[in-house]
Chain A
Amino acid sequence: RKEVEQDPGPFNVPEGATVAFNCTYSNSASQSFFWYRQDCRKEPKLLMSVYSSGNEDGRFTAQLNRASQYISLLIRDSKLSDSATYLCAVNGKHNAGNMLTFGGGTRLMVKP
C-alpha cells in the first residue's frame, strides 16, 4: 500500500460546480498535512495547510479525519482557472523534520 494515495481522476466538472477530493495516508503518526496545486509543466505550489479543526480559504475548504486517516479538499463555485493537479502531502515516514510524502495527484478539469 502506498503511503499517500489519491484518485488520479480526471475530475471533469462544469464551471460553478462543487468538487471534492480525498487523500488517504498510512502513517497514523503523521502530524502535518497539506494540499499543493500543480499546473501543467509547472512546479507544485502550496495551496493550503490542513488543520485538525478544518480550515477554509475562500472557495477552498480542507478537512482532516484522523480516525479514518484521510484529508479532503472541497472547491466551491469552480472556476476555469482551478483546472490543475492537486497533490496532497503528509509529513513523511520518519516523521522527521520537514520531510513530506506526496500523493500521486488528482487532476481537475473545469469546463465552461
Chain B
Amino acid sequence: DAGVIQSPRHEVTEMGQEVTLRCKPISGHDYLFWYRQTMMRGLELLIYFNNNVPIDDSGMPEDRFSAKMPNASFSTLKIQPSEPRDSAVYFCASSFVGEVDTQYFGPGTRLTVL
C-alpha cells in the first residue's frame, strides 16, 4: 500500500508568495494531521481533521495559514503571504480509528522562504 503522499518534497519561494502544500492520506484513514518541524520548536501540530472536518486548529500560527480537506483523499495547507520564519519541514500524517494509537507520517515538504 502507498503511504502518506506529500507534494512538493521541496519548495523554495520568496517572501510574500503564496505556498500550497499537498497531502494524500492513506486510503481508509479518517484522521489527518499537519505538523511543522523546526530545530528551535521541534514537531508542532498545526491542525487536524476527522472525516474531513477540522477538529482543532489551535496550532495554526496565524491567519496567514489555512488548511482544507475537501475530500477523504486530499488536503492542502496554504501559507499566504509566506515569510522567512515559515521555513520548516511540514509533515502530514494520517491514522484511523481502528488503530487509534498509530500515526503514519508522509515524507514531508521542506519549505524555504527567502
Contact = CB atoms under 8 A, between A and B. Distances in A.
A94 B55 CA distance: 11
Interface residues of B, number: 21
B48 A99 contact: yes
User: B-side binding surface: helix, strand, loop or mixed?
Assistant: strand
Nearest to B102: A46
Contacts of B101: 32, 34, 49, 98
B56 interface: yes
A32 B99 CA distance: 12
B106 A101 contact: no
Q: Is the interface of A mostly helix, strand, loop or mixed?
A: loop
A16 to B, nearest CB: 30
Contact of A100 (B45, B55, B104, B106): B45
Interface of A: 32, 34, 42-46, 49, 87, 92, 94, 96-105
